[in-house]
Each structure stands twice: as C-alpha cells, then as structure tokens.
Structure 1
C-alpha cells in the first residue's frame, strides 16, 4: 500500500465522519428524506473506510504454510464487502427511504439548513476526492480516470475513489431535490431525490464490484507493467525466445512465470546460473515482482 493510497483512505474517513454528523443533525431539523439518505450513505462510507483499513492490515500478513504466497489478495475480498455495503446499506436503503416518503408525503422543514449542510458536504467530499485523485495520479499520471478505473489493480484505492465520486454526484442530486422542494412546495421532489441517490449508489457499487470480482478471480499485472517485463526479458542475451509469459497481480506484489528458450549452454549448471542472474536482475529492476518461476524449454523448428 503506497503512502498516497493510505492518505486517501484517512482523508475519506475524516471527511465522511464529519459529514455524517452534520447530515444527521440536519435530518432531525428538516425531516428531509434526501438528507437522511445522504446521512446513511456517509455513515456507511465511514464503516467502509474502517473495513478497508482492516483489510489492508490483513493483507500484510507474512507467508505461512497455509498461505505460502502471503495474504496480499485479502484486500480484494474486503473491497468487495465494501462494494456490497455501498450497494445495500447506501443504495438500497436510500431507495427504500425515498419510496416510504413518496407514499407518506412528509413535509420538508428548515430547508435552508439542508441546503447549507449539503454545501458544506460538497466541500469536504471534494477535499476527499482530491486526496484520492492525487494517489491515482501518483501511480498513473497519464491515464484518464475511466481507463485507470478499468485497468487498476489497487482495489482499495478503486473503492475510495468510487465512493467519493458517488458521494459528490449524490450530493448534487440531493441538493437539486431539496431546492425543487423549496421552490415548488411539493415534498415529492425530496422523495425522488432520495430514490435518485440510492439508484446512483447502486450503479456505482455494481461497477466497483465488477472490477473487484475480476481481481479476486485473478488478473495479470497492469498492461504497462506486463509490457515492461516482457521487453526486459526479450532483451536478455541469455534468452533466445520467450515461449510463454504469465504475470499475476497478488495484492501489491506480482508473480511472474516465464517459459523461455535459452541460448546453448554446454553444461546445465551454467544454464541454471544464467537463469538465477535473470531472476535477480528482474526483481532488482521491478521491486513489485516478488516471485519468479522460470522454466527453460525449447521450440521445435
């Protein structure tokens, strides 16, 4: 876990804790369904960040006989839990609350308090998102946000960024709903705002869950990293050709399996020594590569 990624989680936790307290106070004053949905969302986000921190701690466990390659991928499991919590606790509950208020038609009180709180929340969530974007840019300075979302192997940072984006979009919906309720005097808009926030959260949670599921199943290293590793190996004078190259992202570390045709060596010990040098140089150049499995083979011509 990088320092920037760690900071992004703590920024999000601090922002959401403050926002949740303010939103619950505003809900008590205004009776706003959209505000209550936002308060529940922020509370769920606090729990999510704590769950991510716990998952990161679990992922640092050293290798053991039961888990010989360590527990680096444990963070993917906890990231999936966070996505599910965002879907059900944040999204589904908001939809339920909106439908309830749509039927009850409860009036909105002290609407300007709700608007002020939403404005403060936007500022705090923006600061949290800036922290997440800073961490993203540190690792992928040239990628678009959508491309990073599809290609990243950092499930913890993926969840934090997704939550922050969902929060800002949800605040925009809640702000519009409360404003329309004030202008029209019709509480239906407030109820629809709660439903809109819930549907948005469920959509983003579904996208996050899809990406994290792929990581749990097992993804290769990022396209850039895999390309750099392949280029490095093909440039080695000891290797005649690469037959097969497999990379596997294992938490923050990478597993590399190489099947290659070596140049001619009169003795097997000389070939083994050459392979050892290649492995050592590969790990020196790419510190993320924790394990290297090298199989010398030949191509039938």
Structure 2
C-alpha cells in the first residue's frame, strides 16, 4: 500500500467516525444541556470539516506540473493541513473555552446524564477505530520510533493532522466523561463547565503542536532522516561515483527531489561522463519510487577554501 493510499484511508476512517460521533453528541447536548457535551459535539463537527479540507488538499496535490509550478503541487497539502490546525484552535478550542466560561458564570443543571455517558462511550469506540486506522497507515513509516518522535520527523502532514486530531478527540472524550460523571455524583454543574474549558485547552494545545510541525514543512524540509541516509548510501555505492561532495533532499508533499554534487570516477570523455550520470539517476529513481526529480552535478572534489574571517 502506498503512503498516499494509506493517508487517504486514514482520512476516510476519521471522516466517517467523526460524522457519526458529531450527530450523537449534538443530540445528547441538546437533551442534556451539557456544556462539555456541546464542546465535544462542536469539536467533532469541526473535525469533519477538517477532514474535508484534507481531502481537498490531497486532490489538489495530484495536479500536473505547470510552467509556473514546474515541480507540481505536492506541497499544497501542507497549506490545507495548516488551515486544519488553525480551525482546530479557533472553532474547537476557543469556542469550548468560551462556552465553559459562560457556563461558570451562568450554571444550569445537566439532564439525562446516563444517556450522555453512553453516547461518550460509543464515541470512544468510534474514535478508537479512527485512531487505529491512522496508526495502521503510519506503521510502515513509523517503524520502531516512538509516536512523539514520528510526529516530529514525519513529512506526511495529513497523517500528522489526523493522528493529532484522533488523540485529542480520545483525550477530550475522557475529560468530558469525567466532567459529566462528577456533575452527576455531586449535582454541581461547575464540573461540567470546567470539563468544557479543559477540552478547549486540550484542543488548543494539540492545534499549536500540529501547526508548529506543519509550519516547518511549509517553510521547506528535507526528506526524512531515514530517507536522506538511504539516498546518500545508494548514491555513494554506485560504481561511477567516487565520492559525494554534497547531497540535498527536498520534500514536496509525497514526492521527493534530490540535488547531488559528486566527484565521479575518471571517464574517457565528456559524453561518457554524461552517460554515467544518466545511468546513476535512472537507478536512483527506480530504487526510490517517490523520488521524482534529481539534479546531478559532477564536481572536481577539491576542498573548498575556508571563508575569510571578518
């Protein structure tokens, strides 16, 4: 399964789960008057909109290169991922905190607690299915890495967003469940209001983490450390290459570009040198299917003079 198809499945998993969850939470919030439940319903509706935006970005990223965009539109998915992060903060986080503050100032009793807790438990199951789909999609890339390390190093912004959303959703459901349970046990609606605020702060924290990572992708990142090492090792192992002088990779959505400067082994002629470079590039792109552009420059390999001190 390709990285792109895995990401697409994860987005559809999340969209289906959040659609059902949002409707269930909205009905429960209407009948109970629970602020924490309303915050969770808004969070789920916002997540549905977020997944639609990711699908738009993934579709736009498939557009063919043009003279104005000679390396394609792969990075457009980063823009839509950033939009999702901002919406998660503004619609989900800020509104939940605002509603919680309003509930603290004007507390109202919460009704139908048992059905609401049942809705939350069902939502936990559905969110768990969505998170399982996301984790399955990222399993190959993640390998033995911790989830946090993968989060910091991945170049798949759509999976990063979906995983962050699902984790935030499960944690938010736990907070809402505890808030409603405490409200039911004590009869004090303040716990429900505090639950709404806690859910909002959680969403704002996840939004900050997601947008920080996506900002790094937008401003330009190399391929992942593992991919950089693999490409470097492959080029260095080619019989036509004496040694690598410099190698730079660029991540462009789900595609990669590489620029290589290398000292080649002695060739009989300039034509032989060009032919050798072409063969190395062909083997490189065949070995790494996501590598769509390579720029190869032969170099004399002489040491570069140190810059003069100011």
Q: CA deviation at 1:136?
A: 1.0
Structure 1 Cα separation of the partners of residues 31 and 6 of structure 2: 38
SS in 2 for 1:2: helix
Give the match for residue 225 of structure 1: 227
Give structure 1 stretches of 5+ with no counterpart: none
* Counterpart mapping for 1:76-225 below 5 A: 76-225=78-227
Give the match for residue 293 of structure 1: 295
Answer with 69-78 or 107-116: which moved more. Answer: 107-116
1:159-185 Cα deviation digits (max 9, x unpaired): 011100000000000000000111111
SS in 1 for 2:143: coil
CA RMSD of aligned residues (A): 0.9
1:180-207 Cα deviation digits (max 9, x unpaired): 1111111100000000000000001100
Give structure 2 stretches of 5+ with no counterpart: 304-310
- Residue 62 of structure 2 is aligned to residue 46 of structure 1: no
Structure 2 Cα separation of the partners of residues 7 and 228 of structure 1: 27
Structure 2 Cα separation of the partners of residues 27 and 130 of structure 1: 27
Q: CA deviation at 1:140?
A: 2.5
SS in 2 for 1:295: strand
Could you list the runs of 4 or more consecutive aligned residues of structure 1 that deviate by over 6 angstroms after TM superposition?
none
Structure 2 Cα separation of the partners of residues 136 and 121 of structure 1: 23
Q: CA deviation at 1:114?
A: 1.3
Q: CA deviation at 1:212?
A: 0.4
Alpha carbons 2:4, 2:254 under 8 Å: kept: no
Give the match for residue 263 of structure 1: 265
Give the match for residue 22 of structure 2: 20
1:249-270 Cα deviation digits (max 9, x unpaired): 0111100000111111131111
Give the match for residue 275 of structure 2: 273
Alpha carbons 2:22, 2:45 under 8 Å: kept: yes
Alpha carbons 2:25, 2:40 under 8 Å: kept: yes
